[in-house]
Chains A and B, each alone.
Chain A
């Protein structure tokens, strides 16, 4: 695997979604262990790719600016990761999307992090009107 094998990103989209049952438990854990109040939404950051990554041992880390996104997952059109704390978007809005095989050399994309429409209220009233993750990740 070489830098030339890096995923070719064609688009980025951030969607506020309804938290899943597991997400609600995660949000509760955040609130109890980190004393943090979060909007009742799960933000899905979708990066569309020309082709999906191969299931090999090695892989490219995804970066937003200088922040290495800890994990990503696949959907039909690319990769995605989930954010619960909208502070992430405030801190990284407009930063470039990059890939790296080794954390020292980077492959640029033309994409920058966009900002979702924020869920405004806590407690599920807004979240109930948000799309389900399974629909967003179809």
Chain B
């Protein structure tokens, strides 16, 4: 780990920042749009076409845009590393904000970082969708994909400065706020030949025949910063992100105060009950940042929360740089050692602001569940194909459809609630060793989090012991030795229960004499606190 460079610090590439834009907008002719005049004079090589998004969106009255929805511009800022490339591509999109204020430059601090590390990084203008409107996040996704398409066009144009400089097999799209919801829809739309956006709209080809698409990009990952969820819902139901998914959100978010992106996260790469051993091959990870708010992820948006209760802006930007820098290193630049940052935020602690606190989750595509809890709201059981029994001793174990994060939205993911009133309680998961191929995996992983319910002492970490047995050998680990199980940061209501993934190396079990070919039980022993209430998302062997 010592050899790893801080992914939040500039790399060795020098780079150029270029404005690209559609010709003829003449923002300068509209005094209210003075922040957009930079797009009146794009670099001569970077003049873009316009697109027709009229089936997806109208333009609000919040700003006197000098174009209609049939002819919106493709404007943006792109940081281009010097060198031959090809370089991966990252494209950022802002969310909803005052349309008279240009939100686009707010991610240049991240684009600059990524460009210095050898990634072409752009931040795009979606301001014409901003205002008091609602439900337009499909259009944000389409605009995002059209910008990526523009980079593909430049990459394949022999006379263009970007010709051959972009590695189209390594694309990351990042969205913040409504733009964070939009990237999920973009991921969903990406492979489609056509889409009927909603009940009031006709089917729109996305194959290029009507101007939009084709896409079919090799999206390496979708990253959502403090996203909304389900403001736009496809006719087929809430969007399930098909690509790798990374989510970052602040506990002090004063806008998307509901952490509703957690529901997007839950829907992505969920267990297929019909084929529980079959993975779709995609990872997902989240980082919950204590003290971070909504607006400070965009460097141009004023803070929406009091400074006294909010992480300082510089610290929040540092967190974003480290998290997204590590994501880019791991998934765009194939520096697989940075995957450890996604797997466990503790890996990055030296790079993060001093004293910053996080909760993280990681689900590897290679996993077998001992328990995923999704069979039914029923007594807990071992999940097939692993066979065994779940037995509660002096602990109340109940599966619940709990809105863990105060999203106030319909909940479809089941969580196991454990409550005990005296030390010594235990939940014992006995398994048939031949059905649990632990020897093929690197970790025993479980997601656990505490609530603000009365059995938990306020502002105190919760803890318990994990016991893993094979035959006569048992290894015990305090959960808190793997990661803190922090008391929720209560801003309103009951606070949010954000579970932490505890990753217990199989190798450490072997060191304690446990045979991974013969694991017979995994137990939660509640001997470290006299009482408590914990929520468990799943238990799995994983990589």
Contact = CB atoms under 8 A, between A and B. Distances in A.
Interface stretch (A71-79, A108-116, A124-132): A71-79
A104 B409 contact: yes
Interface string B215-249: 00000000000101011110000000000000000
Contacts of B59: 73
Contacts of A53: 132-134
A33 B193 CA distance: 14
B132 A54 contact: yes
B198 to A, nearest CB: 4
A14 B178 CA distance: 29
B62 A55 contact: yes
A79 B132 contact: yes
A26 B410 contact: no
Interface string A14-49: 000000011101100110011000000000000000
Contact of A74 (B52, B133, B226): B133
Given A52-B132, A105-B408, A26 B255 contact: no
A90 to B, nearest CB: 14
A79 to B, nearest CB: 7
Interface in A42-68: 52-62, 68
A71 B54 contact: no
Contacts of B233: 68, 70
Interface in B184-211: 196-204, 210
B336 to A, nearest CB: 34
B59 to A, nearest CB: 8
Interface string B148-180: 000000000000000000000000000001100
Contacts of A83: 200
Interface in B71-112: 95-99
Contacts of B505: none
A105 B403 CA distance: 14
Interface residues of B, number: 51
Contacts of A68: 233
A57 B134 contact: no
Contacts of B132: 52-55, 59, 74, 79
A106 interface: no
A93 interface: no
A32 B140 CA distance: 26
Interface in B114-157: 130-136
A73 B200 contact: no
Contact of B134 (A34, A72, A137): A72
Main secondary structure of the interface of B (DSSP, over half): loop
Given A71-B136, A71-B232, A104-B408, A26 B202 contact: yes
B255 to A, nearest CB: 5
A89 interface: no
Contact of A84 (B58, B99, B200): B200
A83 B443 CA distance: 54
B57 interface: yes
B540 interface: no
B228 A58 contact: yes
Interface of A: 1, 21-23, 25-26, 29-30, 33-34, 52-62, 68-76, 79, 81-85, 88, 101-105, 137
27 contacts: A26-B201, A52-B132, A53-B132, A55-B96, A55-B131, A57-B96, A57-B178, A57-B226, A57-B228, A57-B256, A58-B256, A58-B258, A59-B96, A61-B135, A62-B134, A69-B135, A70-B200, A71-B232, A72-B133, A75-B61, A76-B61, A79-B133, A82-B58, A82-B200, A85-B200, A104-B409, A137-B61
Contact of A61 (B60, B202, B231, B257): B231
B158 to A, nearest CB: 34
A22 B133 contact: no
Contact of B96 (A21, A23, A29, A56): A56
A131 to B, nearest CB: 17
A123 to B, nearest CB: 18
B401 interface: no
Contacts of A105: 408
Contacts of A137: 61
Nearest to A59: B134
B269 interface: no
Nearest to A22: B54
B69 interface: yes
B70 interface: yes
Interface in B31-71: 52, 54-55, 57-62, 68-70
* From B70, B135, B178, B203, residue with most partner A Cβ within 10 Å: B135
A30 B202 CA distance: 5
A69 B203 CA distance: 17
A61 B212 CA distance: 27
Q: Give 10 closest A-B pairs by Cβ, nearest first.
A: A71-B135, A70-B198, A53-B132, A22-B54, A29-B202, A102-B408, A59-B134, A33-B203, A74-B132, A57-B177
